Structure formats: C-alpha cells, structure tokens
Amino acid sequence: MFTYFTHRVLVMIPTLLVISVITFIIIQLPPGDYLSNQMAELIASGDRAAIEKLAFLRQEFGLDKPMLEQYAVWLGIWPGNNGFSGILQGNLGWSFEYNLPVGEVVGDRLFLSLVLNFTTMLFVYVVSFPIGVYTAVRQYSFGDHAMTFIGYIGLATPNFLLALILLFLAKKHFGVSIGGLMDEEYIDTDMSWGKFLSICEHMVVPVIVIGTSGTAGMIRRLRANLLDELQKQYVTTARAKGLKNYRLLLKYPLRMALNPFVADIGNLLPQMISGSAIVAVVMSLPTSGPMLVSALQSQDQYLAGSFLLFLAALTVVGMFVSDLALAALDPRIRLGSEASK
C-alpha cells in the first residue's frame, strides 16, 4: 500500500501541473485580455491618462510577455517583476475587474465552496448508505418502494427548481431567510459562533438541493450492487452454515457492494462542483461559482484561473482519496487487465 500511495502521489503532481497549464491556456484562448478590451474602450473615449495607466499595468503584470513566461510567473516558479510571486507564494494575482488582489476579491468564497461541497458529499454518503442497504435487504417492501419513489424524484427534478421550492418552504415554515450562506449582519465579519450557526442554518437547503440527485443515484447503485451480491452462492452457503443475517451482510456482501460506492467519490466531486455553480446563482450563494462565471465572461484571467485551479485541485484530491480507499478496500485485478508481470 505504501508503494501504491507514493506512486499515486507522483501521478497526482503532474496531473495538477497539466491542469494548471490547460487552465492557463483556456483563459488565454480568447483574443486579447481584460486590459486590451478596456484600452479599446478608452481609446474610443480619448482618455489619455487612463490609457497610460493601462499600458503601465500591462507591463507590470507581464501581459506583454510570452504565454509560457506568464504561466511560469503566475505559478511562482519563475521570477516576475516582483521576484517569485505566484500561486506557490500565496499570490493568486490581480483582479483587473475589481482592481484588487485576487485573494481579497475571493475572500471567504473558496473556503465556503469547500465547506459546502464537503458537507454535501457527507450528506450524500450519510443518507444514501443506510437507505441503499435497507432497500436492498428489504427488496419490494413498502419502504423500498417509498425510497425508490423519492429517489426517482430526486434524480428527475432539476436542481434549480428544487432550490426555488425549498427556499419557499424554508422561508414559510422555518423562517430561514432566502439566499446567501449567512445572515447579512455576518457578511465580511470574522468567524464567530453566531456566524457559524448562521452558516449551518443557511447551508441546509443548498446541501439538500445539490446533494439530492447524487444521493438518489448512490442509493440506486448501492441497492443494485448489494442485491447482486446477496444473490450469489456464497451467501446461500453462509446462511446454510448458520451465519446470522446481520453478520453475513457486514462480513462480505456489503464490503463487495461498497466498491463502486467508494469509487464514485471521484465522479461525484466534479458533478457537485458544477451543479453547485448553477444552484449558487439561483440561491445567491457567496461561493466560487457565480464569480467564476463573471470572471470568465470579463476575461479577468487571474481570478478565473485561480478558481479553475482550485476546483481542479479539489477534484484531483477527491480522486486521490477515492483511489486510496478503493485500493485499500478491494485491490483486485479488473477484468480485461493484467498485471505487468
């Protein structure tokens, strides 16, 4: 397992590097940049002072340099005008749209995105695991049919629609204010107990909205896998030997059925992150999604790049955790593949 861990870490580092290159290329692909777009407008209006300032900014941020050099400076592996000052040094760059360092513009958004996605993931697993096991063990019971029905509704309902319905219900029945991830009085304040409680209260609806489809899919998958395992010969043999149902379930079938459940962490993360961006727009959540969309539209390259890199890193780490869990749970050769030796 140690060898696997080190090999997997070694795979993860170049993956992140390649992602950072692709991210940088994508945000550079459209012709021009934020400053050149601004300059075109200022030339049309004849504002000489502003034009000179923009030209200074172009030089200051190295936008006149080759793309490769811009990338290396942005990452922090090549000295720019201010020495080494890139992502590896904690400098996410400058947001031209907000005229502030990206770190200040982003504020709590990255952290809140992380908390929201992590909580959603926890919700998906905590809810789907017992329901998936129950529906498989009690196949065709009333509970199974009820959960299956709810699961299909979860799969079929668009997130934004569910968001609107739940927001209305939460406001009407529980008095939770609509939109945002905290009450207005806590915005731009330091973390406090009150702010924490406010975040928890506001997070209930977004977590349910973002997590519902993932939960429904996970329940179906776990149910199908477990049913498949429960019908195998060894389960019959074990029962014939007098092994108690509960012990039998935990000892082998459940462990076998968990493989796709664990492997899905890697697939679930990107789905949730992209899904949460749309929900964040609908629910006015101060997460990375809406700001990323805005940054991409205005070609605010460092802001967009920082967000994309963060989200990609989150996904890569998720895949890493998923692969490690899978290797620990079931290090079995897959059909159609062979060991190198």
Partner 1 sequence: MSEYRYPVKELVSDYIRAGSGVFVPLGLILFTDLLPLVTYIMVALILLFGIYGLRTMLRQATVITIDDIGARQEGPLGAIYDRRIRWSDMRDFRLRYYSTRRDGKGGWMQLLLRCRDGSDSRGPIRIDSILSDFEEIVHQVHDSALERGLSIDPTSATNLASLGIGDGDPAARPPDHPPDHPADPVLPS
Least distance in angstroms from the C-beta of 337 to partner 1: 4
Q: Which of 25, 43, 88, 197 binds partner 1 (CB under 8 A)?
A: 88
Which lies closer to partner 1 via its Cβ, residue 123 or residue 261? 261
Which of 41-49, 80-88, 94-102, 120-128 is the region at the interface with partner 1 (rule: CB under 8 A)? 80-88
Least distance in angstroms from the C-beta of 234 to partner 1: 4
Of 228, 206, 213, the C-alpha closest to 287 is 206
Q: Which residues contact 230 (CB under 8 A, 6 or more apart)?
A: 136, 137, 253
Least distance in angstroms from the C-beta of 9 to partner 1: 7
Which of 75-83, 190-198, 206-214, 282-290 is the region at the interface with partner 1 (rule: CB under 8 A)? 75-83
* DSSP-derived secondary structure letter, 338: -
Q: How is 29-44 classified by DSSP, letter by letter?
A: -SSS-HHHHHHHHHHH
Tell me, by CB under 8 A, how many residues bind partner 1. 44
Residue 111 binds partner 1 (CB under 8 A): no
Q: Which residues contact 229 (CB under 8 A, 6 or more apart)?
A: 235, 252, 253, 254, 256, 257
String of contacts with partner 1 for each residue 244-283, x by CB under 8 A:
----x--xx---x---------------------------
Which lies closer to partner 1 via its Cβ, residue 175 or residue 242? 242
Residue 339 binds partner 1 (CB under 8 A): yes
String of contacts with partner 1 for each residue 89-108, x by CB under 8 A:
xx------------------
Which lies closer to partner 1 via its Cβ, residue 103 or residue 180? 103
User: Can you say whether the dihedral through the CA atoms of 98, 102, 106, 110 is positive or negative?
Assistant: positive
Q: Residue 254 in contact with residue 208, Cβ under 8 Å?
A: no
Angle at 261 between CA 238 and CA 219, to 5 degrees: 90
The whole-angstrom separation of Cα 68 and Cα 304 is: 18
Which of 104-112, 208-216, 287-295, 323-331 is the region at the interface with partner 1 (rule: CB under 8 A)? 323-331
The whole-angstrom separation of Cα 197 and Cα 240 is: 52
**The tokens of 146 are what?**
């009820």
DSSP H/E element including 135: helix 109-137
Which lies closer to partner 1 via its Cβ, residue 213 or residue 225? 225
Which lies closer to partner 1 via its Cβ, residue 5 or residue 160? 5
String of contacts with partner 1 for each residue 171-200, x by CB under 8 A:
------------------------------
Least distance in angstroms from the C-beta of 313 to partner 1: 12
Which lies closer to partner 1 via its Cβ, residue 138 or residue 244? 244
Answer left, alpha or beta for residue 50, where phi above 0 means left and psi between -120 and 50 means alpha.
alpha
Query: What long-range pairs does 10-15 form, CB within 8 A, spacing at least 24?
Result: 12/316, 12/317, 12/320, 15/316
Residue 227 binds partner 1 (CB under 8 A): no
- Which 8-47 residues touch partner 1, going by CB under 8 A? 8-11, 13
Q: Residue 77 in contact with residue 86, Cβ under 8 Å?
A: yes
Q: Which residues form the interface with partner 1 (CB under 8 A)?
A: 1-4, 6-11, 13, 76-77, 83-84, 88-90, 232-235, 237-238, 241-243, 248, 251-252, 256, 323, 327, 330-334, 336-341
